[in-house]
Amino acid sequence: MKIYKKGDKKLLNAWAFYDWANSVYPLVISTAIFPIFYGIITDDYLLIAGYSIKSTALVTYISTIAFFLLVIITPILSGVADYTGNKKFFMKLFCYTGSFSCIMLYNFDIETLETGLFFYFIALIGFWCSLVFYNSYLPDIAKKNQQDYISAKGYSMGYVGSVILLFVIILMVNFPEFFSISAVSNIPAEIMAMKYSFVMVGIWWFLFSQYSFYHLPGKDYYLSKKDSNRKISKNIIFNGFNELVSVLIILKKKPVLKTFLLSFFIYSIALQTVILVATYFGESEVNWSTEEKTSGLIISILIIQLIAVLGSVLAAFFSKRIGNLNTLIFFNILWSGLCIYGYFVHEPIQFYIAAGFVGFAMGGIQSLSRSTFSKFLPKTRNTTSFFSFYDIAQKLSIVIGTFLFATIDQITGSMRSAIIFFLIFFVAGAIILIRLNIKINKNLMA
C-alpha cells in the first residue's frame, strides 16, 4: 500500500469514495425501502410483552437503544484505535458487520420480528461505528482549505451512488417480473424485491468499500516502528473515556469549538431524528391512494437524495462567501420552516414539495457541520478522540430525539405533534450560532 502525503488528490478521492459505498445503507435501510417494507408487513399497533405499542414507535425505540449503546462503546473503540493506531481495522470491522446484517434482513418477516429487528439493530451499529473512524480521517488526510470541498464531495458521491442503486431497486419493486422475481409462498413479488434489495445493499457496501480500504493509511502512518506492536490492556480499553475527559478539558479553553458543539448537539436532536423518521411519517400520515403509496414514497426519497447533492455543493460554495456559521444559521432557519410546513402536510403533492426542501437542507447542513467542526479543531494528530466527541454528541442527540419522538408518537397517536415539537431545537441551534458568529466577528475587529 502506498503512503500518500496529506492533501494528495488520490487519497482524498479514496476517502470520499467510502461515502459512495456506505450511503446505500442510510438511503435504502434507514430511509427508503425498509421503512416501506416495515409498514407493509406490520400492523399499526403490535403486541410486545403484553403491551400494545405503535409500530412506528417500536422501530424508533429500537433506534434509541442502538444509539444509546453507541454512546457507550464509541469511546472504548476510539481509545483502542488511537493507542494501536489502527483506525482502518475498526473501520473495516464495522463496515463488514453492517453489510452482513443488511444481507440478513432478507429473512425479516412478521413471524421473525424479533430476529429481524436484531439485525436492523446490528446494521445500525455497524454503520455508525464505521463512520467514527471514517470521519476521523478527514483532518489527517486533508488540508484545512480542502476540508469543506472534500467533505461535500463525499456526501455528494454518497447521494449519487445510493440513488443509482435505489433506481435499480425501484425498477425491481415495480417490475419484478422483468427481473424474474416471483411470489414465494404468501409473499408477493413486490415484497420479495424489497427483500432482495437488502442483500444488494450489503454486497454494495462491502464491495465498494475495498477501494477506500486499499488507499487509506493504516497504523504505520500513525505509529513509529517501535510502537507498532502495542498491546491492548484494561487501561487502554478505558482510555477512550479518559481521552473524552481530556477533550472536555481542552473545550473549556476553546470557547468557539465548545459553543459550536453545543449548537450542533441541539440542532442534531431534531435533524437526525427527522431524517430517520421521514419515510415512516410519509408512510403513515400522508393520504396516498393504494396504487401510488409505494412508488410515491420512493419518488420522494429520490427527490431528497438528488437535491441533497445540490445542497451539499451549494453549502460549500456559500461557506466560502458568507462563512460557515452564516450558512449553518440559514439551514437551521430553513429546517425550522420545514417543521411548521410538515405539520400541515396531508396530500402527496405537499409531501413531494417537503421532500425537495428536506433534501436541500439535509445535504447542506450535514456536510458543512462536519467540515466546520474539523476547521475548529486544535492542531493534533489525535483526531479520533475529537471526532469521537463529535460523534457522541451526535449520537446522544439522536438518543434524546428518537426517544422524544417515539414517546410523543405513542402518546398522541400522531407523528405530526412530534414534528412540530422539533422546531424548538432548530431555533435554539440558530440562536447559538448567531451569538457565536457575533462573538467571533467582535474578536476579529478588536
Q: What confidence tens digit (pLDDT) does each residue in 288-318 have?
A: 887 788 888 888 888 887 788 788 888 888 8
pLDDT at residue 150 above 90? no
* DSSP 8-state symbol, 4: P
pLDDT at residue 51 above 90? no
Q: Please give the residue that has the higher pLDDT: either 134 or 3.
A: 134
How many CB atoms sit inside 10 A of residue 411's CB? 12
DSSP states of 407-446: HHHHHHS-HHHHHHHTHHHHHHHHHHHHHHHHHHHHHHH-
pLDDT at residue 373 above 90? no
Q: If DSSP codes are grouped into helix, strand and coil, which group holds residue 394?
A: helix
pLDDT at residue 279 above 50? yes
Kindly state the cell numbers that stand for 323.
462563512
pLDDT at residue 221 above 70? no
DSSP states of 102-124: HHHGGG--GGGHHHHHHHHHHHH
Highest mean pLDDT (candidates 24-33, 151-160, 200-209, 230-239): 200-209
Percent of the chain whose predicted confidence (pLDDT) is above 70: 91
Summarize the confidence of residues 219-223 as an average pLDDT: 61
Highest mean pLDDT (candidates 6-20, 92-106, 320-334, 382-396): 92-106
| Cα 229 to Cα 427: distance, rounded to the nearest angstrom | 49
Q: Looking at residue 236, what is its pLDDT?
A: 65
Q: Please give the residue that has the higher pLDDT: either 332 or 160.
A: 332
Q: Please give the residue that has the higher pLDDT: either 59 or 208.
A: 208
Q: For the whole model, what pTM was predicted? A: 0.76
Summarize the confidence of residues 206-223 as an average pLDDT: 83
Q: Using alpha carbons only, what angle is made at residue 442 by residues 439 and 443, rounded to the nearest 5 degrees?
A: 90
Q: How confident is the model at residue 233 (pLDDT cuts 50, 70, 90)?
A: low
| Residues 75-113 pLDDT 10s | 777 767 767 777 888 899 999 999 999 999 999 988 888
The amino acid at 228: S
Q: Looking at residue 380, what is its pLDDT?
A: 64
How many CB atoms sit inside 10 A of residue 336's CB? 21
Summarize the confidence of residues 149-164 as an average pLDDT: 83
Q: Looking at residue 335, what is its pLDDT?
A: 93
Kindly state the cell numbers that stand for 107.
429473512
* Mean pLDDT over the full length of the chain: 85
Q: Please give the residue that has the higher pLDDT: either 446 or 297.
A: 297
Q: Looking at residue 8, what is its pLDDT?
A: 84
Q: Please give the residue that has the higher pLDDT: either 188 or 375.
A: 188
